[in-house]
Structure 1
Amino acid sequence: MSTANIKSASGDKTLKGYQVLFWLLGFFGLMFVVNGIFLFYAITSFPGEDVKKSYLQGLNYNATLEQRAEQARLGWQAAVGLEGDMLVVYLEESTGEPLTGKSVNAALRRPATTNADHEFDLISDLGGRYHANVGDLQAGQWEIIAQVRDAESSSPKFVARKTITIR
C-alpha cells in the first residue's frame, strides 16, 4: 500500500487512507443533512394541488371549454379590484347595462400557499356593483376569482380573474 506525501511549511505529513475516508464521509454526510433540511421545508411548505380534483378536471376539460364558450356568448364584462378594504366587482351585460340580481361569490387566493385564502359572498348594490369587506390583507400578490352563479346550476355561469399586488 502506498501513501501520499504532502509537503507543508511544518514538514512532511502523510495522508492516510482512513483520513480520506473520514473527509469523504463528512462531506457527503453534510450534503445529506442539508438536502434533508431543504426537502423537509419544501414538502411542508407546498400545499399540493392548486386546483381541487385536478385529474378529474383534466378528464372533463371539454366541459370546461363548453363553459368558456357559453361565457363568451353571454358577452358579460367584469371589473374586479379593491377599493380600500372592500373587494368590488362591477358586472355589465353585453349591451353595457349593469348586471343586477345575480349571486356572486369571490375567492382571494395567495399563489404560493393556501393558508391565507378567503372566500366571500358578495352583496349587491345598485348599478351592477357587488362588494364584500375583506379587511386588512397581507402585502404581496393575490389572485381574485369572482364567480356568478345561477340558482338552477351549481357550476359558475361567469368567471372573472384578476391578479393584484398589495404593497
Structure 2
Amino acid sequence: MTEIKGWHVFAGFAAAFGVIIAVNLTLAYKSITTFPGLEVRNSYVASQSFDANRAAQLALNWDVSAYLDGHTLTLTILKDGQPIAPAIEEAIFGRATNVAFDETPDFVFDGTALRAPVVAGDGNWNLRLKARATDGTLFQQRIVVRVTS
C-alpha cells in the first residue's frame, strides 16, 4: 500500500477545485454568449402603456396556440371559436435562451390555421408573435410551442 503524502492531498484538492472552477467558467461563458438579452430599450417608457395595451389585447378575445409537427409550425388563432388570419407583423421562432437558431416563419393560412415550414427538433421552442387585428389593435405574445412528433 502506498503512503499518502502531503502533495497527494494537495493534488487531489487542486484537481477537484480545478474541475469546479472550469465548470463554473464554462457555464458563465455560455450564459453570457447565448442569452438574447435586451427586451425593450426603455422599460419605463414601455410600462407607461402596458395596462392599456393589455386591456386592448384581451378585448380581442383571441385564443392563440402553436405546435410543431415534424418541420411544420402550426399557429392557430381563434376568435369566438372561429379560425382567423390576422396580419402577422413579426414572428420569430426559436429557442427560449439562444438566438443562434432563430427563424422568421413564412405563414400561410389554409382556412383552419397558419402553417409554415421550419427547421427544428425536440426541446423547448417559442414563437414571439406580433399580429395586427383588423381594428388596428396590436397583439403580441410569446407562445410556448408544443412539439408533437
TM bin, normalised by shorter chain, reads 0.5 to 0.7
Distance 2:64 2:89 in 1: 12
Aligned to 2:75: 89
Spell out the pairing of 1:1-167 with structure 2 (5 A cutoff): 20=6, 22-23=7-8, 25-46=10-31, 47=33, 49-53=35-39, 56-57=42-43, 60-93=46-79, 95-103=80-88, 105-125=90-110, 127=111, 129-135=113-119, 137-149=120-132, 156-159=138-141, 161-165=143-147
Equivalent residues of 1:105, 1:121 under 8 A apart: no
Indicate how the Cα distance of structure 1 residues 83 and 48 shifts in structure 2: closer, same or farther if over 3 A, else same. closer
Q: Deviations over 1:105-149 (max 9, x none)?
A: 432222343332322232333x363221114x2222222333313
**Consecutive unaligned residues in structure 2, runs of 5 or more:** none
Distance 1:48 1:54 in 2: 18
Distance 1:92 1:69 in 2: 18
Q: What do you get for the CA RMSD once the two structures are aligned?
A: 3.6
Larger Rg: 1
Q: Secondary structure in 2 aligned to 1:60? A: helix
Distance 2:14 2:94 in 1: 40
Indicate how the Cα distance of structure 1 residues 43 and 54 shifts in structure 2: closer, same or farther if over 3 A, else same. farther
Distance 2:143 2:26 in 1: 30
- TM-score after normalising by structure 2: 0.68
- Greater RCO structure (CA 8 Å; 6+ sep): 2
Q: How many aligned positions are there? A: 146
Using the TM superposition, give the Cα deviation of residue 34 of structure 1 relative to its aligned residue in structure 2, in angstroms: 1.4
Amino acid at match of 1:102: A
Indicate how the Cα distance of structure 1 residues 101 and 75 shifts in structure 2: closer, same or farther if over 3 A, else same. closer
Aligned to 1:6: none
